[in-house]
Amino acid sequence: MSTSFSSLPIVSLSTLSSSSSSLDALEALSLRLDEVFSTTGFAYLTDLPLTYSHDDVFGLCDDFFGHNGLSEESKMKLAKKSFVKNNKNTYRGYFPPQAGADNLKEGFEIGSPSTRSEVRLDTVKFNLTEPNVFPSSNSSFRTRCETLHAELQTLSAKLLSVLATSLGKLPSFFEHYLEDSLSTLRLLHYPPVPAERQQDLICTPHTDSGILTLLHQDKTGGLEVRNSDGEWIPAPYVPGSMVVNIGDLMAKVSEGRWIATYHRVRSMNREGGVRSQGRYSIPFFFEPGMDCVVQSVEGRECVYGEHVLEKMKGWVEFQDVVKVPEESAGRIAVEAF
């Protein structure tokens, strides 16, 4: 059960940075993560085992969306097919700002660089295993994105082995999720809100659909997480941290022990205000492979690819039409099992 928390807990990952972590330290981390995922479903992670600094991470957003970043034309060359009919990429790449009432964001998504690219018929609307697309003008951007993806995937794998023990399973319980994993690194830009816009929500309330989300956010603020009293608790950037949260599928894997908590983003700046660039954030959605059999702690099963394709029908970034249901802002609600 979610609790009436008033701030997000902070969990240090120093244990994961050390090559010789004691079993006691891993056990303590496993218990701590179990506690936070059963109560808030959300936490700040500190002492991150990543080589990227906060500035390095947001340099990627700046290279893509910033004043010296890509032109509209270059971005649209990378847009998914649902936005530019003649483009080939259906799942990876750029999505422009949407017209949904509570959403104001553009994004660029990549999967694992080692994704096995399957030959699929043109009739397949979304090819989840297609290769990434990148701007041709900036070769270091590609390398940096791929390295960040790889580091976040490695961190997710470490977290999952600890979380398996939180659920009373062997550390290898989630290991098969790593095979042909579809994890997505998403660079997000929320442009400054036009002065005349009444609504200050820029990402509508939602739960994430998958297993785990690791979120880098810039210093702008605006992320809010809902507690059990229905209050929206601000989750501003804490120096050196990343946010972690449980997705719907993981809540189901845990048979409701862990919570996929609602969250949203409110605009902290308007056009003409001090922060003219808007907000940057970078969620990393850890996702199993297409054919992965996801099993709950009680043995109920689903195949990841089938469910994700079904639920993509509600994701705002994959609509052919501009009007989308208000609740479908993020990677929401996979009905599994």
Residue 330 CB, nearest approach to Fe ion (Å): 4
Residue 5 CB, nearest approach to ligand AKG (Å): 18
**Piece of the chain touching ligand AKG by CB under 6 A; list 40-48, 144-152, 191-199, 215-223:** 215-223
For residue 266, the 8-state DSSP code is E
Rounded to the nearest 10°, the torsion over CA 17, 22, 28, 33 is 40
Residue 129 CB, nearest approach to ligand AKG (Å): 21
Residue 268 CB, nearest approach to ligand AKG (Å): 11
Measured from the CB atom, the residue of 57 and 223 that comes closer to Fe ion is 223
**How many of the chain's residues bind ligand AKG (CB under 6 A)?**
12
In this structure, what token pair is assigned to residue 162?
């600890």
Of residues 189, 252, 263, 307, which one binds ligand AKG by CB under 6 A? 263
Query: Is 330 a binder of ligand AKG (CB under 6 A)?
Result: yes
Measured from the CB atom, the residue of 283 and 305 that comes closer to ligand AKG is 283
Measured from the CB atom, the residue of 116 and 219 that comes closer to ligand AKG is 219
Of residues 182, 265, 333, 336, which one binds ligand AKG by CB under 6 A? 265
SS3 sequence of 35-101? HHHHHCCEEEEECCCCCCCHHHHHHHHHHHHCCCCCCHHHHHHCECCCCCCCCCCCCCEEECCCCCC
Measured from the CB atom, the residue of 27 and 200 that comes closer to ligand AKG is 200
Residue 12 CB, nearest approach to ligand AKG (Å): 21
In this structure, what token pair is assigned to residue 158?
């470490």
CA distance 289 to 308: 10
Residue 172 CB, nearest approach to ligand AKG (Å): 28
Query: Is 330 a binder of Fe ion (CB under 5 A)?
Result: yes
3-state class (DSSP) for residue 169: coil
User: Sign of the C-alpha dihedral, residues 71, 73, 74, 79?
Assistant: positive
Q: Are 308 and 186 in contact (CB under 8 A)?
A: no
Query: Which residue is listed with tokens 């580091």?
Result: 151
**Piece of the chain touching Fe ion by CB under 5 A; list 22-30, 249-257, 273-281, 328-336:** 328-336
- Measured between its terminal Cα atoms, the distance across the chain in Å is 20
**Piece of the chain touching Fe ion by CB under 5 A; list 6-14, 97-105, 232-240, 325-333:** 325-333
Q: Are 145 and 110 in contact (CB under 8 A)?
A: yes
Of residues 133, 164, 188, 233, which one binds ligand AKG by CB under 6 A? 188
Angular region, 256: left φ>0, alpha ψ -120 to 50, beta rest: left
Query: Is 203 a binder of ligand AKG (CB under 6 A)?
Result: yes
Task: Tell me, residue by residue from 182 to 221, as one string, x for binding to Fe ion by CB under 5 A and - for no binding.
Answer: --------------------------x-------------
For 221, what's the count of Cα atoms within 13 Å in the CB-facing half-sphere?
Answer: 6
The option from ligand AKG, Fe ion, none interacting with 288 (CB < 5 to 8 A, set by class) reads none
Of residues 29, 160, 215, 250, which one binds ligand AKG by CB under 6 A? 215
The option from Fe ion, ligand AKG, none interacting with 202 (CB < 5 to 8 A, set by class) reads none
Give the residue among 209, 203, 206, 245 at the shortest CA–CA distance from 333: 209
Of residues 128, 152, 223, 249, which one binds ligand AKG by CB under 6 A? 223
Binding positions for ligand AKG, 39-58, rule CB under 6 A: none
User: Sign of the C-alpha dihedral, residues 207, 210, 212, 214?
Assistant: negative
Q: Are 49 and 21 in contact (CB under 8 A)?
A: no
Alpha helices in 275-324 (DSSP H): 304-312
Binding site for ligand AKG (CB under 6 A): 188, 203, 208, 215, 217, 223, 263, 265, 281, 283, 330-331
Binding site for Fe ion (CB under 5 A): 208, 330
